[in-house]
Amino acid sequence: MNIRSTRLYLQRFLLYVGVACGILGVINSDTVYSQTNSRIFIRVTEPAGTYFKRRVNWFRQSPQITSNLQRCRAELNDEFTISSYRNPVGLQPIRERNTNSIYFGNIEYPQDYWEVTLQNTSGCRNQENASTGPWFVYKNHVQILQAPQ
């Protein structure tokens, strides 16, 4: 067996593996928009305000979530500095199955939310939240702003 021939196959094999990994990385990407040199803010645009919450299930919104560790109240025009935001990954749509609930049959879709990591929770209406994230916020209630560099 010729050694040069073996090296050529090894180089070709490594090239193919690298190309395959690159293609798979693009196809199966999990995009996270994060802060690098610029600052990212999230501003509440819903006149009635909104809640950041720990889990995606809108039928368990503000009145039904009683723990301040599970929710963060935000009013119109409140701005939060965030370190990252993305579409939720690996979550399935949630359907309310409790026949006694006023929301019975409603479906919540994870793609309707941003998954965000707050840089601090001091803007949470003086609530003592355990950590900065991840939090889920309804996309139609907020606007993502990126400050100029």
Q: What is the DSSP string of 80-108?
A: EEEEEEE---SPPPEE---TTSTTTT-EE
Query: 2 pLDDT exceeds 90?
Result: no
* Distance from C-alpha of 11 to C-alpha of 79, rounded to nearest angstrom: 52
Q: Residue 104 — left, alpha, or beta (φ > 0 → left; ψ -120 to 50 → alpha)?
A: beta
Domain count, the chain: 2
Q: Where in the sequence is the domain holding 16, given as residue range(s)?
A: 1-29
The verdict on 103 and 56 lying in the same domain is yes
Beta bridge partners of 138: 113
Q: How does 93-116 read in b/e, with b if 16+ C-beta sit within 10 Å? A: ebebeeeeeebeeeebebeebbbb
Mean pLDDT score of the chain: 75
The verdict on 1 and 64 lying in the same domain is no
pTM: 0.64
The verdict on 133 and 67 lying in the same domain is yes
The verdict on 95 and 71 lying in the same domain is yes
